[in-house]
Chain A
Amino acid sequence: MNKPNLGTLGTGTAVLVLGVFLLLQSNGALDLNGAQSLFGLALCVLLALVGSSFSRRIARRDAEPEAEEEDLATAALGREASRISKIGFALGILLGAGLLYVWATGSLEAVGKVALAALVVTIALMLISAPFWLAMVRRLGSERVARARADERSAVAAHLHDSVLQTLALIQKRADDPEQVALLARRQERDLREWLSDTAPSRPDERLSDALRAAAAEIEDSHGAPIEAVVVGDAPLDERLEALVAASREALTNSAKFASKGGPVRLYAEIENGSARVFIDDRGPGFDPRAIPNDRHGVRESIIGRMERYGGKAKIHSEPGDGTEVELTMRVRR
C-alpha cells in the first residue's frame, strides 16, 4: 500500500511557508521583531509534527479495512476514498499554517480583521465537519463496492450456468458412455481452470506457450484423448516457431489417434537459452520409424520436413511395443 504521506505534505508546507517568510524578511518587505518570527517558526514546525502524526493515524485506520478486502476492485475503491480524505486534510493543514503564520508575524492589519474572522470560522467549520465528510466518502465507497460485488456475483452465476450446469446436464444424459463423460469432464475442467486463473488471457496467436497449450487442448477435444501439456519458458511467435507449433500439432494428432489407450499423451516444452524444444511422448503401441512408407505424409513431411525447412530438427524414437517420443528443436530469435 502506498502512503502518499500527509506527514510529508505537512512538513513540506511548513518548509514552504518558512521559505517565503525568510525571503520576505531578507528583502525587507517584512519588518518583524525577533520574538515574532521565532514564534511563527515554532508554530510552523509544531503544525507539521501534529499533521504528520495525525495523518499517519488516519492512513493506518484507512489501511485496515483495505487489508481485509478480498477483491481488487474493493481495494481500489478503498484507496480512492482514503486518498480523497487525505487531500482534504492536507488542504486544511495548509490553510491553518498560512493563517497562523499571518497571525504570528503580526501582519494582521494588512489582511483585515473581518477577512481573518471569516477565515477562522471557515477553517473551524472544516475541521469540525471533517469526520462527517470522511464518513460520507467512505460510505459512498462501500456502496460502490457492494454494487461491484453484486455485478461480479451475477457474472459468476452466468458463467457457471453456461458452462458447468450445461456440462453436468450433458454428463447425466451420456451417463452410459464413459468416454464421452470423461471427455466432457476434462473439457469443463480445462475451461473452468482457465476462467479461474487470473493470469493474462491466453494469446495463442502471439505466444509460443499459449499456442502449444491451445493446440493440445484442441486435439484433446477433437480426438477425445487426454493430453497433458507442461510448458517452461516462453517466446513470441514468429514463422519458425509457428512451424514448430504445426509440427507439434501433427505429432500430438498421431499420438492421440493411435496411442491414447496407454495413458495420457504428454507434451513438454522448454524454451530457454535461445532454443525451443518440444517433446511429445506417448505410451502407445509404437512403430518402426524406418518402416514409414514414403507416401505417408504425416510423419515424414508434416513433422520432419516442416522442421527442417525452417532450420529446425525433428527426432523420432519409437519401437514397436514401447511408445513413441518425438523431439522437436527450433532456434528462437532473441
Chain B
Amino acid sequence: MSTPSVVIVDDHGIFRSGVKAELEGMVEVRGEAETVEDAVRAITELEPDVVLLDVHMPGGGGVQVIEQVSKARPQQRFLALSVSDDPQDVIAIVRAGARGYVTKTITGEELADAVRRVGDGDAVFSPRLAGFVLDAFAGDLPAEEVDPELDQLTAREREVLRYIARGYLYKEIGLRLNISVKTVEAHVSSVLRKLQLSNRHELSRWAVSRRLVD
C-alpha cells in the first residue's frame, strides 16, 4: 500500500482541517464526517483503508461508529484519535475494535505512520496506552482464573510495551531487542488481541478506578 486512504471522523471542523493539512502528501484524505450518522454513510460509501476516529462526538461516540460500520464492513480498520486519555475511553474503543489509539498531540508524520501501520493490519499504541496496558495487566491472578492465552502478557510483550511507553519507535525497539520490526509488530498485535478479548476482571476494574487524564 503506497498511499493509504482515510476518512476523518471528528466533530471539530478546525481539527479536521488541521489533520488534513498535516497528512497532506502522505495520506489520501477521502472524506470527512462530524456525526455518527454521516460517518457511517461516508465510510461505507468511500471505503477508506483506515478511519481516523474521534472518541467523543455528539449523538454517540466512536464506539457507535465502529459498531454500525462493522455490520456492513467487518474488515474496516479504525484508528482512534482523541484528546481524551481517560482509560475508560481508551479501553472502550479498543475493545470495540479500534486497532490503535493515539492522542491528538501526535505529529503529522507520526500520525501518517500510524495510519500506514493500521492499514497494514498492525496495531498502534501511544506511549500512554502502552503504560495503561502494562498497568492493567500487572499483578498476578489466581491460577484457576487465568487464561494464559488472553489474560497475561509474555515477558517479551512487556518488554516491547515498556519501550513504547518510553517513546521508542518500532525500528529502535527492534534494534534494542535484536528482533525485526515485523516481530515487534507481531508482539504489539498480540497485545492488542489480549486487550480486546481478555476477560481479566482487572481490566474493567482498573479502567474505572484509574480515571486518570493527566
Hey, which bits of chain B sit against chain A, CB under 8 A? Answer: 85-86, 127-128, 130-131, 134-135, 138-139, 162, 165-168, 210-214
Specify the chain A residue showing the minimal Cβ separation from B129: A230
Q: Mark A186-199, 1 if CB is under 8 A from B, else 0.
A: 00001001101111
B131/A232 in contact, CB under 8 A: yes
B166/A268 in contact, CB under 8 A: yes
A231/B211 in contact, CB under 8 A: no
- Bound together, the chains give a CA A83 to CA B134 distance in angstroms of 42
Q: Which residues of B contact A198 (CB under 8 A)?
A: 211
Task: Sort A-B residue pairs by CB-CB distance and give the 6 closest, nearest first.
Answer: A230-B131, A197-B213, A193-B213, A266-B167, A268-B166, A232-B135
Q: Mark A215-251, 1 if CB is under 8 A from B, else 0.
A: 0000000000000111111000000000000000000
Q: Which residues of A contact B213 (CB under 8 A)?
A: 193-194, 196-197
Task: Using A228-B167, A266-B167 as known contacts, say yes or no to A190 and B135 having CB atoms under 8 A apart.
Answer: no
B167/A281 in contact, CB under 8 A: yes
A230/B212 in contact, CB under 8 A: no
Number of residues of chain A lying within 8 A (CB) of chain B: 22
Task: Using A230-B127, A230-B131, A268-B131 as known contacts, say yes or no to A197 and B166 having CB atoms under 8 A apart.
Answer: no
Question: What are some 20 contacts across the A-B interface (CB < 8 A)?
Answer: A190-B214, A193-B85, A193-B213, A194-B214, A197-B211, A197-B214, A198-B211, A199-B211, A228-B167, A229-B214, A230-B127, A230-B131, A231-B131, A232-B134, A232-B135, A232-B165, A264-B167, A268-B167, A270-B134, A281-B168
Hey, which bits of chain A sit against chain B, CB under 8 A? Answer: 190, 193-194, 196-199, 213, 228-233, 263-264, 266, 268, 270, 272, 279, 281
Q: Which residues of B contact A190 (CB under 8 A)?
A: 214
Q: Which residues of B contact A279 (CB under 8 A)?
A: 166
B138/A213 in contact, CB under 8 A: no
- Bound together, the chains give a CA A263 to CA B166 distance in angstroms of 13
B166/A266 in contact, CB under 8 A: yes
Q: Quick one: which of A193, A263, A272 contacts B214, CB cutoff 8 A?
A: A193
Q: Which interface residue of A199, A230, A233 has the most chain B CB atoms within 10 A?
A: A230
Q: Which residues of B contact A197 (CB under 8 A)?
A: 86, 211-214
Give the shortest distance, in Å, between B191 (CB) and chain A (any CB): 14
- Bound together, the chains give a CA A269 to CA B134 distance in angstroms of 11
Specify the chain A residue showing the minimal Cβ separation from B85: A193
Q: Which residues of A contact B131 (CB under 8 A)?
A: 230-232, 268
- Bound together, the chains give a CA A197 to CA B212 distance in angstroms of 6
Q: Which residues of B contact A230 (CB under 8 A)?
A: 127-128, 130-131, 165
A199/B166 in contact, CB under 8 A: no
Specify the chain B residue showing the minimal Cβ separation from A228: B127
Specify the chain A residue showing the minimal Cβ separation from B107: A263
Give the shortest distance, in Å, between A245 (CB) and chain B (any CB): 17
Give the shortest distance, in Å, between B48 (CB) and chain A (any CB): 29
Q: Quick one: which of B86, B127, B135, B214 contacts A266, CB cutoff 8 A?
A: B127
Give the shortest distance, in Å, between A284 (CB) and chain B (any CB): 13
- Bound together, the chains give a CA A193 to CA B85 distance in angstroms of 9
B212/A268 in contact, CB under 8 A: no
- Bound together, the chains give a CA A249 to CA B134 distance in angstroms of 24
Q: Which residues of B contact A270 (CB under 8 A)?
A: 134, 162
Specify the chain A residue showing the minimal Cβ separation from B133: A232
Q: Which residues of A contact B130 (CB under 8 A)?
A: 230
- Bound together, the chains give a CA A270 to CA B213 distance in angstroms of 18
- Bound together, the chains give a CA A270 to CA B162 distance in angstroms of 9
- Bound together, the chains give a CA A196 to CA B162 distance in angstroms of 27
Specify the chain A residue showing the minimal Cβ separation from B103: A228
- Bound together, the chains give a CA A228 to CA B214 distance in angstroms of 10
Give the shortest distance, in Å, between A128 (CB) and chain B (any CB): 45
- Bound together, the chains give a CA A298 to CA B200 distance in angstroms of 44
Task: Using A193-B85, A266-B167 as known contacts, say yes or no to A233 and B128 having CB atoms under 8 A apart.
Answer: no
- Bound together, the chains give a CA A279 to CA B211 distance in angstroms of 24
- Bound together, the chains give a CA A266 to CA B167 distance in angstroms of 7
- Bound together, the chains give a CA A249 to CA B83 distance in angstroms of 27
Q: Quick one: which of A229, A231, A264, A268 contacts B162, CB cutoff 8 A?
A: A268
Task: Using A228-B127, A231-B131 as known contacts, say yes or no to A199 and B212 having CB atoms under 8 A apart.
Answer: yes
